[in-house]
């Protein structure tokens, strides 16, 4: 199925109207995975970053990246001290980008096997759908993002098996979505932080700025 170019011009419009006034503060959940690579890429693109290991460190963030890793390990850590509830509340309100295991954590439905999740993004995800570590791959495919084909690095990747009506599909692998957006939420089954291509992180930062722009004047949350 071909990828249609994105028709959402509100992102660039909102981003351009706020970029000169505010530098977004984006958190990166720093429990496991290559969280530093995400932070470095965001900083290169002009954002401020904060590594997040405690619920209180979500305070004041404009957006959040949930990186790859092992989703069951994430869950064990997040079950401490009400972190899961704090993170769920954040993802319901603020721009959030989940990659690989982060995509699984955002999903409303998780299978192969089933497990708990934040449940804030209306997608169904199958864990380890493309095999184990030695089945990892680097592929290029069409994308709705401007600039030509997108490089995607897959490591023990999940598969997005179901998306809700109105979900924007920005890239696919063998017909299955690999990069999807629902409102202020973005999810990828691959690792954009391991590619030299910065377009996915730039797209997310534009989403963050759009969400900042849409808040009522005088509010910080």
Catalytic residue numbers? 100, 191, 193
Residue 102 parent element (H or E): helix 101-106
Q: How far is Cα 193 from Cα 41, in angstroms, rounded to an integer? A: 7
Closest CA to 65 of 42, 85, 92: 42
Which residue is associated with the tokens 């570590």? Answer: 133
**Roughly how many angstroms between the first and final C-alpha of the chain, as a whole number?**
39
Distance CA 10, CA 13 (A): 5
Contact 103, 115 (CB under 8 A): no
**In angstroms, how far is CA 113 from the centroid of its own chain?**
22
């Amino acid at each position: 199925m071909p990828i249609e170019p994105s028709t959402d011009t509100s992102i660039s419009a909102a981003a351009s109207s706020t970029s000169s006034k505010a530098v977004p503060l984006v958190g990166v959940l720093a429990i496991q995975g290559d969280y530093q690579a995400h932070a470095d890429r965001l900083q290169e693109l002009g954002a401020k970053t904060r590594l997040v290991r405690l619920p209180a460190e979500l305070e004041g963030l404009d957006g959040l990246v949930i990186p790859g890793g092992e989703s069951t390990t994430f869950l064990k850590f997040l079950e401490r001290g009400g972190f899961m509830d704090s993170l769920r509340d954040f993802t319901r309100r603020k721009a959030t980008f989940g990659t690989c295991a982060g995509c699984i954590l955002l999903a409303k439905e998780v299978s192969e096997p089933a497990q708990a999740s934040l449940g804030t993004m209306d997608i169904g995800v199958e864990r380890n759908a493309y095999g184990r570590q030695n089945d990892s791959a680097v592929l290029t495919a069409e994308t709705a993002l401007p600039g030509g084909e997108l490089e995607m690095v897959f490591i023990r990747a999940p598969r997005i098996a179901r998306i809700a009506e109105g979900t924007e599909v920005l890239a696919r692998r063998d017909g299955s979505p690999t990069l999807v957006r629902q409102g202020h939420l973005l999810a990828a089954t691959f690792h954009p932080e391991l590619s030299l291509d910065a377009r996915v992180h730039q797209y997310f930062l534009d989403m963050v700025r759009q969400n900042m722009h849409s808040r009522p004047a005088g509010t910080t949350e």
